[in-house]
Amino acid sequence: MKTPKKAPKKSVQPPPKKERPWVWLVLALLVCAGLFYWRQGRPRRLFEEARAQFDAHPEQAEPLLEQSVIAAGGNFPAAQLLRCRALGATGRWDEALGLFSLIEDATTCEPRELLRLAQEAERAGVDALALRALAAADRAGPEQAAVLKQRIRLELKNGPQGEVLEQCRRLERIAPDDPFPWQVEGQILQGSKESLAAIRAYREALRRESSEQGKLAIRVELVGPLIESGELAAARQETDGLLAHPAAAEAVRMKDAYLLRLEGLTGEALAQIDRVLAKTPDSAGALMLRGILYFDLGRYAEAAEDLKRVAAAQPYNKEARYKLGQAYLKLNQPAAAAEELAASQSLTEAEIEILELEPRLRQHSGDRELLLRLAKLYEQVGRTADAERLLRSASTE
């Protein structure tokens, strides 16, 4: 008999595990969620934590913000900005400036935060950072007027006047009742000898100014371009009004003395300027004017003494040096005269070249040769901040 074939023995091994792709999917999702949390949630959490601590303990907020930025892969503008403020609060403004330049797109930051940083930087004298923050914050919104105002104030010290004028005109449109941009416009125009336009700007500022103190300040400034443009009667009227004011300061007396000279009242002008010098004996402006008055009166030795002091305090004052040279000529000191006149002429030539090159630089802002030449000229006429600004630009070109 045939032995039946043994049925194959049933395997005792467990059946092969069924593939469970969903598990892997869940796991993957969990990993992603973890990563997401790590990349997004954690930086945000760290940032919030830092923000909560910032006002009381900026020094403790700073490392949290650093971690927050690292956790975000290096690009977390809000945290970077707050960290700049934190660094500033602990006096590390250099680091803050460097850090600000690492923000990929600062314009994505809140204008309010940028404005805060700018204010703090300005208070600390870090104008470069303040200006960069303000530039990023300068866009339509409730903060724009404040941003522009601060920008104007800072650029007036640091930037090209043409750009400040542009900011003023923007602010005039945004805040039509604000006297500030008009007053600054007046100052800029006066500085560039646009006296008639300066007068108009000051008058606009006066129209908008409500405080007596503010009005007084504008009127004092208005006298200058009135004199410059030859409107002597109007300048006299304004000056007399200011002199009658109990708060009439030395600036008004100076202008009065200048005006008296133009009116042919040299003696009276000298008396007035002596009163100014009694209170501010080292005022270069007052010494310059007294030197001029002595010169008018033919008192050349006294003129030279005053003008020498001005030239020593302000070696870039080409007018003082020219007048001093003239005084030396009258005193028959030709060598000293030649030196002063040459210095004055060299300053004048440099300023003329600056006037010629500045528009060219506006057209070719990346021209390194031009930047360097202009920087040298700025240096020559004592505009060291401008020279440094251009040298910085040249180094990046």
Partner 1 sequence: MFDATGCRWLISSIALGLLLGGCNRSEPPPAPPDEEPAAAAVETTAQSHADETPPPAPREARPDDWFEDMTERSGVRFAYRNGAEARQYTILETVGGGVAMIDYDNDDDLDLFFPGGGCIASAPLEISGMSGKLYRNDGDWKFVDVTAEAGLAEAAGYTHGCAAADFDRDGFTDLFVSGYRCSRLYRNDGRGRFQDVTEKSGLSLEGWSTAAAWADLDRDGWPELFVANYLDWRPADNKPCSEPDSRVRDVCAPQSYPGVSDQLFRNRQGAGFEEITDAAGIRRADKGLGVLAADVNEDGWIDFYIANDVIANRLYLGRGDLRFEEQATLSGTAASEFGAPEGSMGVDFGDYNGDGRGDLWVVNFEMEDNSLYRNDGNDSFTHASVLAGLGGRCRALVGFGTGFADFDSDGWLDLYVINGHVYYHVGRSPYRQPAFLFRNLAGGSFADVSDSAGPYFSAPHAGRGAAVGDLDNDGAADLVVVHQNDPVVLLKNRRPSERWLRVKLQGETCDREAIGAKVTFEHDGRSLVRFVRSGAGYLSQSDLRILFPVSAADALEVGVVWPGGRREVFRRLSAGRTNVLAEGTGENP
Site residues, partner 1 (CB under 8 A): 162, 165, 193-197, 227-232, 261-262, 264, 266, 296, 318-319, 321-323, 325-326, 329-330, 334, 337-338, 341, 344-345, 348, 352, 355-356, 359, 362
Nearer to partner 1, 336 or 391 (CB): 336
The minimum distance between CB 262 and partner 1, in angstroms, equals 5
Nearer to partner 1, 129 or 198 (CB): 198
Q: How far apart are CA 285 and CA 281, in angstroms?
A: 10
The minimum distance between CB 157 and partner 1, in angstroms, equals 22
Q: Which two tokens stand for residue 388?
A: 């440094």
The minimum distance between CB 347 and partner 1, in angstroms, equals 9
276 in Cβ contact with 254 (< 8 Å) = yes
Mapping DSSP onto H, E and C, the string for 270-327 reads HHHHHHHHHHCCCCHHHHHHHHHHHHHCCCHHHHHHHHHHHHHHCCCCHHHHHHHHHH
Residue 54, classified by CB atoms within 10 Å of its CB into exposed (0-12), middle (13-18) or buried (19+), is buried
Nearer to partner 1, 275 or 362 (CB): 362
Residues 6+ apart with CB under 8 A from 213: none
Nearer to partner 1, 59 or 351 (CB): 351
Nearer to partner 1, 113 or 194 (CB): 194
150 in Cβ contact with 134 (< 8 Å) = yes
Nearer to partner 1, 4 or 359 (CB): 359
Reported as type and span, the H/E element at residue 356 is helix 334-363
The minimum distance between CB 297 and partner 1, in angstroms, equals 9
Helix, strand, or coil here: 331? coil
Reduced to 3 DSSP states, what percent helix, strand and coil does the chain have, rounded to the nearest 5? 75, 0, 25
Nearer to partner 1, 49 or 228 (CB): 228
Closest CA to 229 of 209, 265, 203, 266: 203
The minimum distance between CB 55 and partner 1, in angstroms, equals 44
83: how many CB neighbours lie within 10 A of its CB? 29
212 in Cβ contact with 241 (< 8 Å) = no
313 in Cβ contact with 284 (< 8 Å) = yes
The minimum distance between CB 319 and partner 1, in angstroms, equals 4
| Residue with tokens 């405080």, as numbered in its chain | 211
Nearer to partner 1, 220 or 341 (CB): 341
Helix, strand, or coil here: 107? helix
Q: How far apart are CA 239 and CA 198, in angstroms?
A: 17
The minimum distance between CB 230 and partner 1, in angstroms, equals 3
Nearer to partner 1, 146 or 293 (CB): 293
Give the N- to C-terminal CA distance of the chain in Å, as an integer.
105
Nearer to partner 1, 88 or 325 (CB): 325
Reported as type and span, the H/E element at residue 68 is helix 58-71
The minimum distance between CB 229 and partner 1, in angstroms, equals 5
Q: How far apart are CA 300 and CA 252, in angstroms?
A: 26
* Number of residues that make up the chain: 397
The minimum distance between CB 223 and partner 1, in angstroms, equals 13
The minimum distance between CB 192 and partner 1, in angstroms, equals 10
Nearer to partner 1, 46 or 288 (CB): 288
The minimum distance between CB 261 and partner 1, in angstroms, equals 6
